[in-house]
Amino acid sequence: MNEPDKQNRAQFATRLGVIATTVGSAVGLGNIWRFPYEAGQNGGGAFLLCYILIILAFGIPVLCAEFVMGRSTRSNIFGAFRKLGSKSKWHNVGYIGIIASIMILSFYSVVAGWTMEYLYQSISGALSHDTPAQYHEQFVSFSTSNWRPIMWTAIFLALNYLIVRQGVKKGIEKMSNIMMPILFIILLIFCVNSLMMPGAKAGLSFLFNPDFDKITPSVILSAMGQAFFSLSLGLGTMMTYGSYFQKDTPLVKSATTTALLDSLIAILAGVIIFPAVFSFGVSPEQGPTLVFEILPSIFNHLPGSIIWSSLFFLLLVIASLSSTISMSEVSIAYFTEEKKMSRSRATILNTAIALFFGIICAMSFGCLSDLTFFGLFRIDLFTFFDFFSSNVLLPLGGMFISIFVGWKLDKKFLRDELSNHGTQHARSLHLIIFGLRYIAPTGIALIFLMGLGII
Ligand code: PFF
């Protein structure tokens, strides 16, 4: 990143830096933990098909919209809506972003904490068992422990705090440049290994052969939530990153590359997990615990398993950090730029709120697993935060962003921004604008109403 420019905002130094950093935010537990478990619970191929269509129809246009808002205003989500929408009430969309970012940071840190526990277990050689049932028991005994998951959540949040407090960017840009390609290569190696497993055919057919009967409103809603979650979309994260882009950063190209790489990594994770799921004869539908029970079994079959599993969990912790750093910026920018707090106070506040809710989320698997609302229904904060932020808040934020950029911004301004004043001949310009004006707002609204059972 270069020195701050006239407007006092730093910019990414290189084009590779732009891609690596946006991909760094996008790639994380969403691809490797959430995508396989959501696909497993929602019919495999049916889910993947909906997911890809939603990335193309809503994901890329909304990503472009966030980039346009961020780069043209050099502001956070509140400032961007204010500068572009003058005295209107649009900046209130920023509150959706803040609530979503804090909810996600809370449960995400719990899962990142699980990853750290597994990193620790693999380094200490405690991650080698003979049967999937033993891995299941190991996960259950860890996640129901009263203090371990909480301890790791706190350690992860402390790491996040230390990095975010420094004012970010420089370190992340460098780290992402190196770590993302390594993660990609190691995933490719695991893919080859999984493709040689006896259940490879069944696993691939589960993931790539859509059973159209399984496409229900709730599957489409989950696919939409996964698409927004995975692209860090709808809460202003990508807007903030857009505010660090240079004037000549090609927005459409950057959005498309980010979306393609992110989806590719999620699909690679699926190609690693499902052949193993079918080889070991376990159910693909077990939810958030799936990956933590399957991956160690896969590693255990590789020569030099300790090295592979340690390297993998280490990279996953780093990928998680580059995601949590980006989501932390949403609320920190609000506290510092809107509420005039100092950066260190804002960072402490952000961490404290996430730690409070993170502890409750962590306990959802252990001592709070039987918690009910006056005996009427079970309260599971982890599942609620995961569902509500991804499937409701992010698409809602995305819908407002697309309406704002598609309808409220001057058409010529939008075209100029997307094409960098005509210097980028993006053939897809019309498609993006059409997507923002018509497809994304109506599509998201329709999926909501159907998926939540309102129509
Ligand atoms: N996209 C990240 C992942 O797939 O792990 C999660 C995420 C990061 C969501 C940043 C939202 C966000 F603002």
For the chain, the C-alpha Rg in angstroms (whole number) is 21
Distance 88 CA to ligand 1 centre (A): 29
Nearest alpha carbon to residue 309 among 118, 105, 165, 179: 118
- What is the residue type of 2? N
For residues 25 and 326, the answer to whether their CB atoms sit within 8 Å is yes
Distance 323 CA to ligand 1 centre (A): 5
For residues 250 and 71, the answer to whether their CB atoms sit within 8 Å is no
The pLDDT score that the predictor gives to residue 1 is 46
For residues 114 and 32, the answer to whether their CB atoms sit within 8 Å is no
φ/ψ (deg, to 5) at 426: -75, 115
Query: In testing the pocket of ligand 1, which one of 21, 22, 23, 25 has its CB within 8 Å of the most ligand atoms?
Result: 25
Question: Mean pLDDT by 10-residue block, N- to C-terminus, for the chain (455 residues)?
Answer: 50 75 93 98 97 98 98 93 88 96 98 98 90 91 93 97 76 73 93 96 98 96 98 96 91 96 97 96 93 92 91 93 93 91 95 97 86 75 95 97 96 94 85 96 96 84
Listed in sequence order, the residues at least 6 apart from 304 whose beta carbon sits closer than 8 Å to its beta carbon are none
Q: How far apart are alpha carbons 128 and 391 in whole angstroms?
A: 36
The pLDDT score that the predictor gives to residue 88 is 84
The pLDDT score that the predictor gives to residue 94 is 95
Q: State pTM to two decimals.
A: 0.95
CA of 330, closest atom in ligand 1: 13
The pLDDT score that the predictor gives to residue 9 is 65
Distance 413 CA to ligand 1 centre (A): 29
Query: In testing the pocket of ligand 1, which one of 66, 230, 393 has its CB within 8 Å of the most ligand atoms?
Result: 230
The pLDDT score that the predictor gives to residue 3 is 42
Distance 199 CA to ligand 1 centre (A): 31
For residue 424, give both structure tokens.
């980028």
The pLDDT score that the predictor gives to residue 87 is 78
The residue whose CA has the least distance to atom 9 of ligand 1 is 232
Distance 210 CA to ligand 1 centre (A): 26
Output the 3-class SS for the chain: CCCCCCCCCCCCCCHHHHHHHHHHHHCCHHHHHHHHHHHHHCCCHHHHHHHHHHHHHHHHHHHHHHHHHHHHHCCCHHHHHHHHHCCCCHHHHHHHHHHHHHHHHHHHHHHHHHHHHHHHHHHCCCCCCCCHHHHHHHHHHHHCCCCHHHHHHHHHHHHHHHHHHCCCCHHHHHHHHHHHHHHHHHHHHHHHHHHCCCCHHHHHHHHHCCCHHHCCHHHHHHHHHHHHHHCCCCCCHHHHHHCCCCCCCCHHHHHHHHHHHHHHHHHHHHHHHHHHHHHHCCCCCCHHHHHHHHHHHHHHCCCCHHHHHHHHHHHHHHHHHHHHHHHHHHHHHHHHHHCCCCHHHHHHHHHHHHHHHHHHHHHCCCCCCCCEECCCEECCHHHHHHHHHHHHHHHHHHHHHHHHHHHHCCHHHHHHHHCCCCCCCCCCHHHHHHHHHHHHHHHHHHHHHHHCCCC
CA of 26, closest atom in ligand 1: 1
Distance 390 CA to ligand 1 centre (A): 10
The pLDDT score that the predictor gives to residue 167 is 64
For residue 149, the enclosing domain spans 3-451
The residue whose CA has the least distance to atom 12 of ligand 1 is 232
CA of 320, closest atom in ligand 1: 5
For residues 416 and 186, the answer to whether their CB atoms sit within 8 Å is no
Q: How far apart are alpha carbons 65 and 189 in whole angstroms?
A: 35
Alpha carbons within 13 angstroms on the beta-carbon side of residue 271 total 16
Q: How far apart are alpha carbons 409 and 406 in whole angstroms?
A: 7
Query: In testing the pocket of ligand 1, which one of 96, 327, 329, 332 has its CB within 8 Å of the most ligand atoms?
Result: 327
Listed in sequence order, the residues at least 6 apart from 197 whose beta carbon sits closer than 8 Å to its beta carbon are 203, 275, 276, 279
Residues with CB under 6 A from ligand 1: 25-26, 28-31, 101, 104, 229-230, 232, 235, 237, 323, 326-327
Classify residue 399 by burial, with Cβ atoms within 10 Å: 0-12, 13-18, 19+: buried
For residues 105 and 350, the answer to whether their CB atoms sit within 8 Å is yes
> How many domains, in total, are found in the chain?
1
Cβ neighbours of 374 (radius 10 Å): 5
For residues 176 and 24, the answer to whether their CB atoms sit within 8 Å is yes
Distance 130 CA to ligand 1 centre (A): 34
Q: Domain of 45: which CATH number?
A: 1.20.1740.10
The pLDDT score that the predictor gives to residue 168 is 53
In the block, tokens 């100029």 appear at 416
Nearest alpha carbon to residue 32 among 205, 197, 266: 266
